[in-house]
């Protein structure tokens, strides 16, 4: 062994006593771990937030109530820490929700955009509209497999003229899980109401996605889930893995936090949807809805 | 093995290794802390690997080499403490300064080379295992160690 090698060994050995004691480091690791877990929870909450947005923009309401709840009960401070810290966003907000049969992350199988719904939150934050897009558009269905959510979003933007702040892609398993987590939903079609659970929601989701979103949102708001952190957490776990968000999530959450209350209106596309798209672009859906009561799903 | 058991049995060895890599106890603490949080996040994968011990050593080494990506280095920079590995010149410190010259010169080496030196001359690993940790060929390990030794040798001669 050369002299330099010996000196190296000796130098390493000499400095062994500089090694920090394990006890304090162990404590620091535990503290850092708790922080890391909290960060992860916030990320998952964002996923769940997306799940609820897709459930007809109930999220804004939910966030507001979490925020109010947090001032009384410190137990929900993790959830509330997202909302109020975001700057308020002025103007209307559009989010595209893509429901897909297959998991996007799966290597095999072509994910199809089976359900495409625009969520439009009005500038005054009094209403959120779920606008179903005609799913018969086979070219739209295939965009998801060919170019992912970005391609679907740009295609919808191209034919509607609407710019989306964010896109939420949700697989049907997440829809099923969320439906199960809220103990089923009631979907009404032409005055006939139907109870749906996790196993029966999928076919209706294919034919009437905007009604399912509306029913989910209504359920989440009326049964008090939005005010109960434990049930929110359950919803988070249910939707978490099947939801992906693209785009400006921060803006979305920021806008959500400014909402005090919102009515959820589900709208179906008429045969000639140009007026409807124009109303979305100009934030004039309130007038459009008054003029086209037949296309409002109640 | 649970994470707790792993930490109980391996933490002190990891801290020693990190001290040799970074040359300073504060950076070593930060490096180990950052790594162990990642270990916990990915514990299932760590547990499933052939050697959890080796897996974690690889994580820690990568974190050290690619330090710009991790946050521990930013913390070190922000703290901006004087580097304790640089000997303070004073009369009675001369002898130890001379002795610690090799140690302080290590900080001038590329991180990959320093890691290779620590793995061979402190951890006493065979070259094949060093190659596994660094994720390169055995030949690359040998050449980077000889390059590092050559650098140290030249600097020592110049200093004397």
- What percent of chain B has a predicted confidence (pLDDT) above 90? 55
* pLDDT (0 to 100) of residue A111: 58
* pLDDT (0 to 100) of residue B132: 93
Report how far residue A46's alpha carbon sits from residue A230's, in angstroms, rounded to the nearest whole number. 16
With a cut of 50, say whether residue A73 has pLDDT above it.
no
Report how far residue B14's alpha carbon sits from residue B20's, in angstroms, rounded to the nearest whole number. 10
Report how far residue A19's alpha carbon sits from residue B29's, in angstroms, rounded to the nearest whole number. 9
Distance from CA of A16 to the nearest CA of B (A): 7
Does A73 or A18 have the greater pLDDT score?
A18
Could you tell me the domains of chain A? 21-293 (3.40.630.190)
Chain B interface includes A74 (CB < 8 A): no
The architecture of the domain spanning B1-84 is: Orthogonal Bundle (1.10)
Search chain B and give the residue with CA nearest A22: B12
* pLDDT (0 to 100) of residue B123: 94
Chain B interface includes A34 (CB < 8 A): no
**Which residues of B are less than 8 Å from A22 in CB distance?**
11-12, 15
With a cut of 90, say whether residue A242 has pLDDT above it.
no
Six-digit token string for B147? 């390059």
Of B29, B84, B149, the CB nearest to A25: B29
Cβ of A29 within 8 Å of Cβ of B37? The answer is yes
Q: Smallest Cα–Cα separation from A262: which of A59, A86, A88?
A: A59
* pLDDT (0 to 100) of residue B143: 96
pLDDT-wise least confident of A113-117, A118-122, A215-219, B28-32:
A113-117
With a cut of 80, say whether residue A206 has pLDDT above it.
no
For A250-287, the pLDDT digits (tens) are: 555 555 544 445 566 778 778 788 889 999 999 999 89
* pLDDT (0 to 100) of residue B11: 94
* pLDDT (0 to 100) of residue A102: 55
Q: Return the number of other C-beta atoms located less than 10 Å from residue A204's C-beta.
A: 18
- Answer whether B35's CB lies under 8 Å from B62's CB: no
ipTM, interface predicted TM-score of the complex = 0.82
Spans in chain B with pLDDT lower than 50: 69-84, 86-91
With a cut of 80, say whether residue A185 has pLDDT above it.
yes
For B41-63, the pLDDT digits (tens) are: 889 889 998 899 999 999 999 98
Across the range A213-222, mean pLDDT stands at: 70
* pLDDT (0 to 100) of residue A13: 93
Tell the residue number behind the tokens 């896109």, with chain if given.
A167
Domain positions in chain B are 1-84, 86-160
Cβ of B32 within 8 Å of Cβ of A7? The answer is no
* C-alpha A245 chain-centroid distance: 7
Residue B87 φ/ψ, nearest 5 degrees: -65, 140
Cβ of A20 within 8 Å of Cβ of B25? The answer is yes
- How large is the angle between the packed helices A229-240 and A22-54, nearest 10 degrees? 80
Domain B86-160: state its class: mainly alpha
pLDDT confidence tier of residue A248, bands split at 50, 70 and 90? low
* pLDDT (0 to 100) of residue A2: 84
Does B118 or A83 have the greater pLDDT score?
B118
**Which residues of B are less than 8 Å from A9 in CB distance?**
121-122
DSSP code, position A75: G
The pLDDT mean for chain A works out to 69
* pLDDT (0 to 100) of residue A199: 84
Across the range A68-84, mean pLDDT stands at: 33
Search chain A and give the residue with CA nearest B97: A11
Q: Smallest Cα–Cα separation from A58: which of A171, A214, A239, A183?
A: A214
Search chain A and give the residue with CA nearest B156: A4
């Amino acid at each position: 062994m050369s002299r330099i090698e010996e000196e190296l060994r000796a130098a390493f050995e000499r400095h062994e006593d500089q090694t920090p004691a394990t006890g304090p480091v162990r404590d620091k690791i535990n503290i850092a771990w708790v922080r890391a877990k909290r960060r992860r929870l916030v990320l998952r909450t964002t996923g769940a937030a997306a799940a609820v947005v897709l459930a007809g923009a109930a999220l804004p309401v939910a966030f507001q109530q979490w925020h109010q709840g947090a001032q009384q009960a410190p137990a929900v401070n993790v959830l509330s820490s997202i909302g109020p810290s975001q700057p308020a966003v002025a103007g209307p907000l559009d989010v595209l929700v893509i429901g897909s049969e297959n998991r996007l992350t799966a290597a095999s199988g072509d994910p199809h955009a089976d359900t495409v719904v625009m969520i439009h939150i009005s500038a005054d934050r009094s209403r959120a509209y779920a606008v179903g897009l005609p799913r018969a558009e086979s070219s739209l269905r295939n965009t998801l497999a060919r170019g992912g959510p970005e391609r679907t979003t740009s295609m919808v933007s191209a034919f509607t003229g609407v710019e989306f702040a964010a896109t939420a892609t949700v697989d049907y398993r997440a829809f099923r899980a969320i439906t199960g987590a809220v103990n089923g939903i009631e979907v009404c079609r032409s005055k006939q109401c139907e109870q749906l659970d996790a196993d029966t929601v999928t076919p209706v989701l294919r034919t009437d996605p905007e009604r399912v979103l509306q029913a989910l949102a209504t359920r989440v708001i009326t049964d008090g889930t939005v005010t109960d952190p434990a049930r929110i957490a359950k919803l988070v776990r249910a939707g978490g893995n099947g939801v992906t968000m693209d785009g400006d999530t921060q803006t979305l959450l920021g806008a959500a936090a400014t909402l005090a209350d919102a009515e959820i209106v589900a709208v179906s596309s008429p045969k000639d949807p140009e007026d409807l798209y124009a109303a979305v672009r100009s934030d004039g859906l309130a007038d459009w809805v008054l003029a086209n009561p037949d296309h409002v799903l109640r | 093995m649970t994470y707790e058991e792993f930490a109980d049995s391996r933490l002190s060895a990891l801290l020693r290794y990190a001290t040799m890599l970074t040359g300073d106890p504060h950076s070593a603490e930060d490096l180990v802390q950052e790594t162990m949080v990642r270990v916990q996040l990915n514990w299932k994968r760590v547990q499933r690997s052939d050697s959890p011990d080796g897996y974690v050593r690889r994580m820690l080494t990568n974190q050290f080499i690619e330090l710009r990506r991790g946050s521990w280095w930013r913390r070190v920079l922000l703290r901006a403490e004087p580097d304790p590995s640089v000997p303070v010149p004073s009369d009675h410190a001369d002898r130890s300064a001379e002795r610690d010259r090799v140690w302080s010169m290590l900080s001038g080496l590329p991180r990959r080379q320093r890691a290779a030196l620590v793995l061979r001359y402190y951890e006493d690993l065979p070259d094949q295992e060093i190659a596994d940790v660094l994720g390169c060929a055995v030949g690359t390990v040998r050449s980077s160690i000889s390059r590092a030794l050559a650098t140290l040798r030249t600097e020592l001669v110049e200093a004397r």
